[in-house]
Amino acid sequence: MYFGAFVDGALIGAALIIAIGAQNLFVLRQGMARDQVFIICFLSACIDALLILLGAMGLGSAIAAFPWLVPWASWGGALFLIAFALMSLRRAIWPPIKPVKENEVVTSSKRKAILLTLAFGFLNPHVYLDTVILLGGIAAGYEFMPRVYFVVGAITASFVWFFSIGYGARVFAPAMRTRQGARILDLSVAGIMLIVAANLIIDQLAATQM
């Protein structure tokens, strides 16, 4: 019974986490650049773990009681994604673009890596929908001990996923070793970030007209 709850949590958690969203793309890019990979993967998984725990403890119901939080989170997340997209565009359009050379590790400041990871983890309303509301709602259907195993399964899936894409991205590292490859990657990152931000803005504009 407990093992079944663990497997359910892992499978459902993986299904919700494994999607090419802004957070996953950020981890993937940093993995390709070999830039502060461990701290970014670890912190991303810890953020997911915290939100999953809060959801299992009933935070989803608390959020539902304060509907004004959702628009604020959406607008804040959209502005952050637009800013990050503009930074990526700047790297792609205006040189110098310093490609990653063989066996070279790009190292930005740990503080910057932590701040960006926190922003991608907490300024994306989709994260709250997946981890707090959906996973939390499903977990609420279990008795206490099976719920613990369900939550552990979901958290395990999160850690496995983030470390897999963070370190597995090194397979694609050759794309970062050429100026053209680095430019294409930054343009792709900017495009996806702008698409996600546009979807957030469209959703909020539609909600205000209802």
More confident residue, 93 or 150: 150
The DSSP 8-state label assigned to residue 124 in this structure reads -
Secondary structure E strands in 128-193: none
Asked if the model's pLDDT at residue 40 lies above 90, the reply is yes
Looking at the structure of the chain, the number of domains it has is 1
Average pLDDT rounded to a whole number, residues 154-161: 93
**Residues composing the chain:** 210
Average pLDDT rounded to a whole number, residues 155-181: 82
Q: Residue 88's pLDDT band (boundaries 50, 70, 90)?
A: confident
To which H or E segment does residue 83 belong? Answer: helix 69-93
Give phi and psi for 140, each to the nearest 5. -65, -20
The residues near 13 (Cβ < 8 Å, ≥ 6 apart) are: 52, 135, 153, 154, 155, 156, 157, 158
pLDDT at 192: 76
**Residue type at position 148:** V
CA neighbor of 17 nearest in space, from 153, 149, 145: 153
Task: Using DSSP, state whether 109 is helix, strand or coil.
Answer: coil
Using the structure block, give the residue that is written with the tokens 């996953």.
Answer: 24
Q: How far apart are CA 23 and CA 31, in angstroms?
A: 12
Digit-coded pLDDT (tens) for 97-114: 455 554 555 567 889 999
Can you state the angle between helices 22-33 and 69-93, rounded to 10 degrees? 30
The DSSP 8-state label assigned to residue 36 in this structure reads S
Which residues form the domain of 31?
A: 2-208
Q: How far apart are CA 171 and CA 49, in angstroms?
A: 27
Q: Residue 155's pLDDT band (boundaries 50, 70, 90)?
A: very high
Determine contact, residues 203/74, Cβ cutoff 8 Å.
yes
Q: How far apart are CA 187 and CA 80, in angstroms?
A: 17
Mean pLDDT over each residue of the chain, to the nearest integer: 79
More confident residue, 85 or 49: 49
pLDDT at 97: 47
Can you state the angle between helices 22-33 and 37-56, rounded to 10 degrees? 160
Average pLDDT rounded to a whole number, residues 47-58: 86
Q: How far apart are CA 38 and CA 33, in angstroms?
A: 12
Average pLDDT rounded to a whole number, residues 187-202: 79
